Chains A and B, each alone.
Chain A
Amino acid sequence: MKIFFVTDLHGSEICWKKFLNAGSFYGADVVILGGDVTGKAMVPIVQRANGTWEASLQDHRDTLESEDAIVEFEKRVMNRGYYPIRVSDQEYVAMQEDEVLVDKRFKEVMLDGTERWIAMAEEKLAGTGIRVIACPANDDMFEIDDLLSGAQVVETGDEEHPIQLGEFTMVSMGWTNPTPWHTFREAEEPDLAVRIDRALEGATDPETTIFNFHAPPYGSKLDNAPALNPDLTYVSGGQAIRPVGSTSVHDSIKRYQPLLSLHGHIHESKGATRIGKTLALNPGSSYEEGILQAAVVNIDEKKRKVKNYQLVNG
């Protein structure tokens, strides 16, 4: 069985399209998006009083004079993982002043975006035999769970819903240890440990179990991130790196020893490591650049072993 695993696409449309093509490209049986499906930013395209549209992307101000130009701009925005929104001058000013309006709009675009992605997957992969799995994680609002679980071709899983991959069981955990951003699915380590234990209740055989835990294990070098000051600026200009993974995840891998442990969350910490017998992988993420970082894992189903693996930049 060949698994193609990616994580932290964060709304990047180009990465999602590559993801859907990855099964045939790499000859994978199943393509998995481990977590963090949705984007982090909305880019307003503001209609001025004179009818022209204005927007800024990557610190560059654009005046968009035709529908084609707007559509082209929207495409660029979506490829970076942001959501383009068309608003009037007044709407834009109102959103600047009212967080509730921003949250409401965010919810709309994230749900719309997820629905669109699901539709693309249905169109692309229905009937191909390639399974596609997308799981929510800490940066995803809870509302997308229902969309994912209601999809036809796209499968999803969480701590209460393990996924069967042939003989193997993939247990997913989108919750992470606390981050400085206080995102949707965070829990203190003791609570996270309880969640993990609960998720593992149904998994009886470590040799046929795969973890899809969004948070990487603490101190595994899959979890190195630049240290931040309390105001979210870098310590020492980004030179200071520290492990920020989860101790509960680390302990659970060490204790349970699954065949394979797949992680994400820390985009800059691509890597592979062994924790006991378990192979743990974090393919990292460069979603904004449109690079699909991934792990291709070949599993020998008879021997119940990882035959080989490769971290790729598709």
Chain B
Amino acid sequence: MAAVGEAPTLFLRKATGLVKGWSKFDAFLYSFMSVNFVTLGLFFSLSVIGYVPTGQVLPALLISGAFITCLVVTYAGLISIMPRAGGDYVWQSRVLGGGIAFVLSVTGWWFILWYWTPIYASILNVEVLQPLAAFLGMDGLLTFLGKDIGLFTICVVTALLAGYLVSLGMEGYAKIQKYCFYLGIGALIVVFVVMLFGSRSGFENAFNQEATNLFGTTGNAYKDTIAFAGGHAALPAKIGLTPFLGDSLLIIPFLCFWILWPNWGSTLYGEVRGASDFKRVMSGMMWGLWVTIAIAVVFLLLASKFFGWDFFNAGNVNFINYFYAYTDSPGPTPIWTYPPLLVGMFFHNSLIGALLILAFGAWFLGWAGTLFLSSTRVIFAAAFDRILPEKVADVSERRHVPVWALVLMLVPSLVVSAFYAFTDTFKTLILDATLVIAVTFFGTAIAAVLLPWRKKRLYENSAMARYKVAGIPLISITGAITALFLGYNLYKWLWPPFDEGNLYAINNSDSLLFMGAMYLLALVIYVVAKVVRKNQGIDLSAIHKEIPVE
């Protein structure tokens, strides 16, 4: 019952689209799965910190988190100003123009996903299949998975799996993701408990013994692992907070591979929304980001305590060096010292180890299904804007499968996968996969900065118009900080050139050729579309022209 003096609330009638919102937990869950601690964090970002022995990962993580918080606010703001609109492509096209938006969006949300396919496959290979084969004593399979043809086979399986999940639609998969979340968290808690209460000497003994049992190593595999990575002098001394800045900042461009994506898949549907919806979208992403960072901090401290900081980094460096063909040998263990594998070894029981690996596989399964989802959406949006042929947005009549969009994803993915699996250099371009999406985000951040002025009416009509700092729109401030952060990373990725000591291995001719080809392809498609459509009497620039009101 309302009381006199209460804040007036609006009256709604029964009408289509008036929903009651969604749970904050759901918003958190999908963001949390996007900044996937296990698949993205462990596989790469936390495996390469040994390459910056004079930096510290904890401050790098906290600093990145602070900046990515601005990215979260920026995206939540854009979602609230233009909800349901289709993300980066629409935001950029309205503020920056259709051409820029198309080029940045198709490269970031479509073309570069071709390269993500073999990355996903590699993660499946080294985090699930290889450890499982090791625990189950399937030596033949383990050998096959370690070969180029093995990796390519996994690429094919991953691409087909992702295509199949897209064809099923998101409804079923969204449920799978939820189960995966609970299973994955359960497995992580088990690992954390073991790492908390287990001793380092106990782990060292277990590792030496199980390395012999599983891989036939001789001698002290623990010490040999450290020695193979260059010994104590070549590895980070200990985990800590100093230097807080300095060389610690060099780790940030590595971390972006993992934690730059809390905005992935954020949606806002329904109508009659207000500031509370902006806050809800934002808090979902914020929790996803910061819970992940908290988990990572706890993990790193436990890794230092349980595995030993030297050993943890040495195992990772050995894996990365071998995986990217910087060395000819993987070191004492033929497969990556994946933390759940190491904890599984501590149990001295192959079955428990295998079960642990399978449970950790939930982190992969709950994440990998969205590989082609964003791409199909961008392909559809471009087709609706008449940039791509109408045909590519077709869905099959019986099963509603986006056949052509999937073909446009699957076929190039397999070609790129073949390059990835059968050449040494192509694997090392892993940060291209981050860079190209970061460029897309950079475009969106710039669009966010300009939006209050370029699209004044749209901005003022939104709940975001209420949020200002010293009279400056909040979205412009957070957009500018996001652009600065992304600009820093782009600079570090691209400068200096690889042969002058670039840490990130992507400013080389192969990498620049690969990325340049994608941008060129996008540009060519747009220009050709513009010419063809003009001949058909369609003006592509009319898509986003605002009709006068008065």
Contact = CB atoms under 8 A, between A and B. Distances in A.
The A interface is mostly helix, strand or loop, or mixed, namely mixed
Contacts of A221: 380, 393, 395, 400, 402
Contact of B458 (A25, A265, A289): A289
Given A93-B2, A311-B543, A312-B543, A242 B169 contact: yes
Nearest to B174: A236
A206 interface: no
A54 B7 CA distance: 8
Contacts of B177: 236, 239
Interface string A20-49: 011001100000000010001111111011
Interface stretch (A196-204, A223-231, A255-263): A223-231
Interface stretch (A94-102, A145-153, A156-164, A167-175): A94-102
Nearest to A290: B461
A61 B8 CA distance: 8
Contact of A183 (B16, B273, B380, B400): B16
A45 to B, nearest CB: 7
A48 B274 CA distance: 24
Given A17-B549, A235-B171, A237-B29, A268 B16 contact: no
A21 B547 contact: yes
Given A95-B11, A239-B265, A272 B543 contact: no
B536 A219 contact: no
B276 interface: yes
B537 A236 contact: no
Nearest to A307: B537
B325 interface: no
A43 B274 CA distance: 13
B16 A308 contact: no
A190 interface: no
Interface string A254-288: 00000000000101101111100000000010101
A209 to B, nearest CB: 21
B148 interface: no
B9 A18 contact: no
Contact of A59 (B274, B385, B545): B274
Interface string B346-363: 000000000000000000
Interface stretch (B17-25, B192-200, B210-218): B17-25
B462 A236 contact: no
A312 B539 CA distance: 10
Contact of A273 (B14, B394, B544): B394
B470 interface: no
A234 interface: yes
B275 A59 contact: yes
Residue from A41, A79, A183 having most chain B Cβ neighbours under 10 A: A41
Contacts of B402: 221
Nearest to A49: B4
Interface string A80-95: 1010000001101101
The B interface is mostly helix, strand or loop, or mixed, namely loop
Interface string B15-49: 11111111100110110000000000000000000
B27 A61 contact: no
B322 interface: no
Contacts of B276: 59
B501 interface: no
B187 interface: no
B499 interface: no
Contacts of B18: 40, 181, 232
Contact of B22 (A79, A90, A237, A270): A237
Contact of B170 (A92, A93, A96, A239): A239
Contact of B393 (A59, A76, A272): A272
B265 A219 contact: no
Contacts of A212: none
A268 B15 contact: no
Contacts of B15: 10, 40, 139, 181, 183
Interface stretch (B77-85, B334-342, B474-482): B77-85
B469 interface: no
Interface in A123-146: 138-139
B10 interface: yes
B10 A82 contact: yes
B16 A265 contact: yes
A267 B85 CA distance: 10
Contacts of A55: 8
A194 interface: no
Given A93-B2, A290-B461, A44 B30 contact: no
A238 B22 contact: yes
B82 to A, nearest CB: 6
Contact of B11 (A36, A44, A179, A268): A44
B267 A239 contact: yes
B471 interface: no
A234 B26 contact: yes
A182 interface: yes
A248 B389 CA distance: 28
Given A106-B13, A240-B170, A241-B171, A271 B21 contact: no
A303 interface: no
Given A54-B7, A237-B29, A40 B272 contact: yes
Contact of A313 (B94, B274, B394): B94
A233 B21 contact: yes
A43 to B, nearest CB: 5
A240 B171 contact: yes
A22 B30 contact: no
A289 to B, nearest CB: 6
Contacts of B397: 219
A102 B463 contact: no
A291 interface: yes
Nearest to B279: A59
A169 B238 CA distance: 78
Interface of A: 10, 14, 17-18, 21-22, 25-26, 36, 40-46, 48-49, 54-61, 76, 79-80, 82, 89-90, 92-93, 95-97, 102-103, 105-106, 138-139, 179, 181-183, 219-221, 225-228, 231-243, 265, 267-268, 270-274, 284, 286, 288-292, 296, 298, 307-308, 310-314
Given A221-B400, A242-B171, A310-B386, 6 more contacts: A17-B550, A21-B547, A55-B8, A238-B22, A274-B390, A288-B272
22 contacts: A14-B461, A18-B548, A56-B9, A79-B461, A80-B461, A89-B4, A102-B13, A183-B15, A227-B171, A228-B19, A233-B19, A236-B26, A236-B30, A237-B26, A238-B26, A238-B269, A240-B170, A272-B393, A288-B461, A289-B81, A292-B547, A310-B539
